[in-house]
Structures are given as C-alpha cells and as structure tokens.
Chain A
Amino acid sequence: MASSTQCQINVLSSERSVEKFNRITLRQTDKVYVLDHKKVGNRCCLNTTKDKLYESIYHFSNAELLEISEHHRTKVARNVNLERLQKNYLFPEISARELEHLEKYPNAKIISLGIGDTTQPIPDIVAHTMSDFARDLSTRKGYRGYGAEQGNKELRKAVADTFYGDVTVKDTEVFISDGSQCDISRLQLLLGSEVSIAVQDPNFPAYMDSSVIIGQSGEFQDNMSKYKNVEYMTCRPENNFFPDLSTASRTDIIFFCSPNNPTGHAATYKQLQQLVEFAKKNGSIIVYDSAYAAYITDESPRSIYEIPGAKEVAIEISSFSKIAGFTGVRLGWTVVPEELLYSNGFPVIHDFNRIVCTCFNGASSIAQAGGLACLSPDGLKAIYSVVDYYKENANVLLNTFASMGLKAYGGVNAPYVWVHFPGSRSWDVFAEILEKANIITVPGSGFGPGGEEYIRVTAFGHRESILEASARLKRLYC
C-alpha cells in the first residue's frame, strides 16, 4: 500500500507534444523530479492546457517519489534576467495558438495574417543569382570560405549607395547581418546592462525582450504591465502615433521603429526632427528600425539620416526580409556612423565591430550574393514590385475594415493594419477572429500595454487569401 504521507509538488516546466505532456519537471522544496510520460503514464495530465498544468499541484506518496527518483541538478543559477521574461516570445506563441486551433479543427482553412511572414516568391534574378553562387561553391574559382564579419565589401557599398546615397553613409559604416532580430541583440550586447532604454508603446517585442535578457529592464510590474526601468513612449491615434517628448524622461537609448511595427505609422520629417533634437539634447542614442521603409507611399523619411544631426545620435537597422522576401534567407544590415561617440569620446562603431567579429561570423555568403542581386537596377525593380503587391494587399484590408465601420490605422506606409476594437481585450478579439473566421492575427497587447484594444493584421499573403479573409471578416462583423 502506498504510504499515506503525501507531498505537494510544483510544476517547473513541461514538454508537450500534440496530445499529452511527455515530460514534466517538478520541484518539491529542494528536490527536483522529472516525470517521464513513458514511466508514469496517466499521471501526466492529458489534454490539460498549459496554464492549468502550471496551476496544478501534484500529490505523490513518498513511495511514488522514490520510484520517480530525484534528478541531478547543476549548481548553476538560472539567469535572473530570463526569469523576468513574462511569457514566451510573442510570435512562437501565435504559432502555438495556430497549432492548437488546427488540432481542434483539423479541416479548418486557416488564413494567417498574424506573423509578418512573406509569401511571394523571390524574384528570379535574385533567386537565380543565389542558385548560381551556390553551385559555384563547388568550383575552385567560385569557392568562398570565411567572409569579412562586417559583410562583403561590394554589398556594403551597394547598401550605402542604394539606401543612403543622398545622406552619405559610408560603406565602412554599414554592417551586413543575418537579420534585424539578431542585430538588435548584438546591439544590446554592445550597449550592456547598465544603459536605460525607451521604447514606443506598442512596439516590436524584440527590443523589449532583448533588453530584459541583457539586464536593462528591472522588475516587471504586474499592475502596470510594464518593466520598472523602461520608459514607455505611448503612441496612439490621439497623439498621431508619435510620443509627447516633452513628458518623456531621458534614457540612454531610444528604440524607434518607422514605419512602425505594429501601428503602421510612418513618422513625419518634423516628428523625426523632434526626435533627433530630443536625443541630442539628452545625449541619447536612437536605435532606428527602418525595416519597412520601402513600404512608404508618401514623403515620410526613409532613413533617420535624412534628419540633420542624426549621424551623431542614431544607429539605423534594416532588413531584406520584407523587401525581398528574405525572411528565411536571412540578411539585413546596421549602420553605425563614425560620428557616434560614447560619453568618453570613444566611437561606438569600434565596439560594434568588435562584437561583430567576436559574436558573429558574417551573414551567409549565399544570402549576401542574393542581396547584391537585389540591389542591381533590375533586382530593385523586381523586389519593389513584390513590395507593391503587399501594399495592394494592405489597401484591400484597409478598405475591408473601413467598410466594417472599424477604425483601422497604418496600411499606407507599412504592411500592417492596426485595427481598433474599443473596450475589448485584444487576446479575446484574437481568439474570436480565430475561432469564428479561422484567421490568425496578432493581439495588440503582445506589443505592449499600449496595444490593448488593438489587433495587428499583416498584409503578407497571397492575394486570394487576403480577399478570402476580407470576405470572412465582413461576414463576422456585419
């Protein structure tokens, strides 16, 4: 008979496959046990949601515990910064929800307007260049080993000429990356844990999450849904999606994305002038994310360096992901002007170069060959026609929401539409749209407390999917 002594065990983590939890790590005071489904069968609760699992308290008798047996733990303390992360990164969370929905409704025709994943093929001229380059790696003449960590010289020059020709950024100031998400973290490594940051609210979660990970953010304050040491610059329709800088505290770093993910707003010249002045006055560094600049329709600045004085206060990051469909190929760049100096006069570019040489080994040579092809005259024409395709999608979505009587923002200078559902909780709206229309979106609160009541809809998708999604939404809300 099992001993009558029961002990309470708390769930630490779980591995879950489609239907059941395969492995659960449990802790009871100072002992850790790992439950392997193969060994303990039904005790690993089947079909329990993740939240319920974590609320669970398991009761085991001593005899059962002995059977499960204690598990070795290292004496390495978990990084407290990672403990501060509140939940999973936003986009894998969205994917997980999509999977759950598919499990529930295996025949559902899900349309994904959630994660900003490009769908249109890469233009021939670019894809064929990469294909030829790959093939040439089999030849003695065409073989390439390690490239410069900062990127291929020609490509750096092409980026400087194509995107910064008018504002004289040097090729030596351009660092080729395997994408903005990676460079954001490399910039955080560069800046270190002692700097203070400001982010727009709402904003692309990588700035915030990488800041927590590196140790800049301080504790999360549940009551406000904000991190203690982070300055949140609210961006709403009421302030034209540009923060009121007169009320903003000084921080060392200001993350600013324009055209904005998720709101779709492109900052005007005047707004960016204010931002640069603000940064200059406060001795701050702007990290300017211009990944969606190619989507701008009006006269809004495409680069922060269009603003005089910006070279002394701003780093600019950008990406081939959304302009060339390189989301899987992986290519981007960061501009660090030589004029950008730390308080002691030391050039930031020198340290960034050191990070790039030590923590990175260059973007894939094949991707870089593709990048170069993108920036040829024919390449640019081809990739921009794909951009136009997505812009037309955005237009369709804007019209759809307008016809539904919903206030929809963005969509003109960015491939995102930011839709207001007043008085609602964004995860509820997300769930409802998914449940009833089989459409994946992204709940605004995933981008920060300022995103509550909003849903982000991306314009990436095949035209027919966009049209079908529009039809479903109209049926749902009319």
Chain B
Amino acid sequence: MIIESTPQLGLVATLQYFCTTATIQLLILSAFSWVQFKSATTSLSLSLQRDSSEMSVIPNNHVATSISSSSCTFLGQHKLSTTIRTKNVWLPAKYTGICKCVATPEQTAYTTKVSRNFNIGKLQAGYLFPEVARRKTAHLLKYPDAQVISLGIGDTTEPIPEVITSAMAKKAYALSTREGYSGYGAEQGEKPLRAAICSEYYANLGIEADDVFVSDGAKCDISRLQVVFGSNVTIAVQDPSYPAYVDSSVIMGQTGQYQKDVEKFSNIEYMRCTPENGFFPDLSTVSRTDIIFFCSPNNPTGAAASREQLTQLVQFAKKNGSIIVYDSAYAMYMSDDYPKSIFEIPGAKEVAIETASFSKYAGFTGVRLGWTVIPKDLLFSDGFPVAKDFNRIVCTCFNGASNISQAGGLACLTPEGLEAMQEVIGFYKENTKIIMETFISLGFKVYGGKNAPYVWIHFPGQSSWDVFSEILEKTHVVTTPGSGFGPGGEGFVRVSAFGHRENVVEACRRFKQLYK
C-alpha cells in the first residue's frame, strides 16, 4: 500500500501503531490530516481522512510528547516491546515528504459519528506517573538484570502496621457472617470514621464531622471537585504542582489550548514557586481566579507554607472571592511547626476546601482511602453552600469508599494506630534525610525533604527529562523529572523517599558514584 501525500494536501498525520512482537508498522508523517490504520492479524488497512475539526486542535509546529518508551519509538530504531499498545503521535507540521506504507488495503475501519471530547485532545501526553512507569519498564527490558530502584512515583513500600490490617482483615471476615455483613454504606463515609477524622485532625477548628467526606483517595476527589465546579471556573496552580490539578482542569474544559512555547495551558494561572521566592508565590502578581489549588507540604518541591504565608493566601482568597483547594496529603511529614490544616488560619472556613489522604500515612496507596473537608461556611456567589453540591456529586458519581478500607481508616485513628502511622512516617523521613545528605554532600542545591517525603534537586541549565534519563541509564534509579510538574519544574528532579531502607542506601551509593 502506497500513500502519496503532496504538499498541497497540507497534512498533519497522526500515527497510530500497534506494536507486536511480530510486526513493526511505521509511517512517516507529514502535515495536516489524519492517517489512521489498523492492522488485522495479517494485513493493513488504511483510511485517510481530512478532518478539519482536528486541525484546530493541533496547532502548527506541534510536536508529539505522548511517546512512551515502552511502545515502539516511531521511525523505527528500536525493537518493539511485547506490549500491545496504541499510541497517537502527532508529528511536526512541516511537510516531510511522501508517505509510504507497505500492505494490502482492506475496508476502511468503521468509526462512530461521535466526536472525540475536544478537551481530552488538549492533553499533551499521558499522565505523568504512568509515563515514568513506562520508562522504567522499557529500561528493564533493555537491562533485564539491572537492579532498578524506584524513587520516582511516590509509592509507599513499607508494610502496613498490624493494628490497621487486622481491623481490615476482621471486617472482611465479618462480611461472610450474617451479623457482620454490610451492604451499601453512606456515600459520604461511615459516621464513626468521619467523626474520628474530625476529632483527630480538626479539633477546635470549628469543623464538624458532617463536613468530612470520606473518599477513595485525594486524586479521585480532585476530579469530583472539578465536576462540582464545572467548566466555567478559572483555576490557579502552583508551578510546579501535582499534575492532577492541571490535567483534571483540562479534562473539565476549564482551560484553553496548550501553549508549547511556554509549556502552559492558556486560562490557567501558574503561580511560580522557586527557591528565590521561598516556594511561595508573590500573590501581588497573581491574577484573580475562581479556584486556587495549593498543596502544602508541597509535592514536588517539599516546601511547607508558614502560618504567615497561609494567612496571606487566605486573605488573598477572601479579597478575590476565590476558593482554595488545599491539599494536605503530606501534613504529617512536617518537622517545622507550620500549620497542618488550612483551617488553622482564621477566615479559612469561608474560603477553603481541604483534601487529604491515608495513602502516605498508612501505606494505603493500594487500599484507597482519603477525605475532603468542606466547611458549611463556604458559599458560592449566590449563597448556595458548596458542601451541598459536593454531597450531590458524592451521591451520584460515587458510591463510597470500600467498607474494608474504611475499617482500616478507623483503626488508623486509634491511639495505637496513630502511633503506628507515626513510626512508618518516621521511617520515610529518615529515608528523606539520607537522600538529602547524599545530594548535599555532592554539592547540589537541594530543597524540600524536611517537611515532606520528597527531595527537590536543582540541575541548573539541564532538561529534567535528560537528567532523569541519565540517572536511569547510569544508576538504574528511577526519579521524576521536574518538568512533569509544570514549566517551573524544569531544571529540577524529584526524588521520593519511599523505599526499603537498603534500596534508598544503595541508590544513594550509586548517586555518589555517578556524581562524585
């Protein structure tokens, strides 16, 4: 099958390929049209469509970033992995010549007449952490005997304390008995758990148990909050920031297009957080937005905001009539005596929502449990309480966290459970210390680490994905490139402190070797 595309057609082609162990299919792309082909077991069929709606989605000079290393690199330099993946890759908009493929054309693949969600098309690449995971997998394929150490994705590694797992085991077992069986739980969470979260973390802050909504994790609640807010709100994020805020915003349709030159989505206010400003934005330069996402202790920089800074933030939100979504998932990692909850700041109840998680306290990354606090005093512009709309979303778009996980959460908040969690947190904090000391001793400018399980390391003048790749290639250690968290992360690499002690120590030994 030969396709000839002429410059006059002005095509931008989209490459979609299936990678199998048996076949490699590649296309050289040219300018502005869809080329889509689908392989049946032995043949290729190809359809060429000119889809003008796509042209507006793909700006000129758009270069693909959605290539993952575990799929085949297009232009075919590498052997393909065994994973069967489809990847869409947009290539440079300049005309590069004739497109040649070799296969027998069959009937055009059937397509529905449903338009792709325009908003998802704005996303530049896969979500950051699966991308990192893919690179790790590709690396393992390349070096099957390498002892890869993962300090990339913030995945907990230490076992969950027994006081917590035995409660979950007991609950699971009880589900097989008539007396112990329970079906649907309240979508907002079990009352005792809501009350325990309230009394442990929000005592004397004017928050009540029914302000607490139990979730299956902060990441899921971020998207549920976006569904509450809808597509007509504007958001501000720290730069760099945890990618779920920006990505969920794009998906909801709150943003404009991605602007390649500045690596930002239009319509999002990016609040630069750098060593120079102590990782707290200069609010006098920040435009008003409806929603402000703020994470403290921060992922990825590790910076924790002081009482004074948070007071500024709350005042800023009050003045502008904004809503702060305060992500406190790492609060218990704080060493400094900074606020653990936004509601410690006077006036915060009228401007803020707080979201948190058991993931990094109790190793619940797989078990799935978190919570969101929405004070009754938080009102939309017409006076309608935000909590009421969130409750509606929780009842309609969710069906409660797993009852077994919730039993675990309740055990976490017993005196024994709290003590056990502190031990696990202390363990990871010790890891953080080791990593920090290593990089400091190597002469790097190192940030974070004191109040969060992340170390934020500066590699001036370098591309963070390049540093990521170099570290991976030469030390077999996975980190996370700072630019994955926003343009403000360029030149930095995040090293997470979750890992078995021996792995963290070994990784540090390898860092010392690489950078001595």
Contact = CB atoms under 8 A, between A and B. Distances in A.
Q: Do A and B come from one complex?
A: yes
Interface of A: 12-13, 15, 23, 25-27, 32, 34, 71-82, 85, 88-89, 91-92, 115, 117-124, 126-128, 130-140, 142-147, 149, 172, 178-179, 181-182, 184-185, 189-195, 205-206, 209-210, 213-215, 252-253, 279-280, 282-285, 312-313, 325, 327-330, 338-347, 349-351, 354-355, 357-367, 370, 460
B143 interface: no
A98 B397 CA distance: 22
A12 B382 contact: yes
B45 to A, nearest CB: 12
Contacts of A354: 120, 123, 126-127
Contacts of A117: 183-184
Contacts of A349: 86
A404 to B, nearest CB: 28
A252 B114 contact: yes
B398 A138 contact: no
A344 B384 contact: no
A340 B114 CA distance: 10
Contacts of B168: 134, 137, 366
A15 B378 contact: no
A138 B184 contact: no
Contacts of A142: 159
B367 A366 contact: yes
A149 B219 CA distance: 12
A332 to B, nearest CB: 9
Contact of A147 (B47, B158, B366): B366
B251 A82 contact: no
B404 A344 contact: no
A365 B367 CA distance: 5
13 contacts: A25-B379, A25-B385, A88-B392, A128-B176, A145-B156, A145-B157, A146-B155, A178-B216, A192-B118, A359-B220, A363-B368, A364-B401, A365-B366
Contacts, number: 376
Nearest to B368: A364
B384 to A, nearest CB: 5
A460 to B, nearest CB: 8
A122 B320 CA distance: 52
A181 B158 CA distance: 32
Nearest to A181: B399
Given A117-B183, A131-B173, A344-B54, A361 B368 contact: yes
B383 A185 contact: no
Nearest to A196: B114
A143 B156 CA distance: 9
Interface stretch (B229-237, B333-341, B429-437, B505-513): B229-237
Nearest to A309: B110
A345 B109 contact: yes
B379 A72 contact: yes
Contact of A215 (B116, B118, B231): B231
B175 interface: yes
A118 B110 CA distance: 41
Contacts of A79: 228-230, 232, 389
B88 A346 contact: yes
Contact of A344 (B111, B380, B393): B111
A178 B402 contact: yes
Contacts of A143: 157-160, 363
B112 A313 contact: yes
B165 interface: yes
A117 B181 CA distance: 11
B162 interface: yes
Contact of B216 (A172, A347, A361): A361
B284 interface: no
Interface centre among B112, B253, B367 (most CB of A within 10 A): B112
Contact of A195 (B114, B389, B399): B114
B53 to A, nearest CB: 7
A414 B403 CA distance: 26
B307 interface: no
Interface in B331-351: 350-351
B516 interface: no
Interface in B373-411: 376-385, 388-389, 392-393, 395-405, 408
B115 A342 contact: yes
* Top-10 shortest CB links A-B: A283-B113, A75-B321, A79-B230, A32-B383, A127-B176, A192-B117, A185-B397, A365-B366, A359-B223, A328-B403
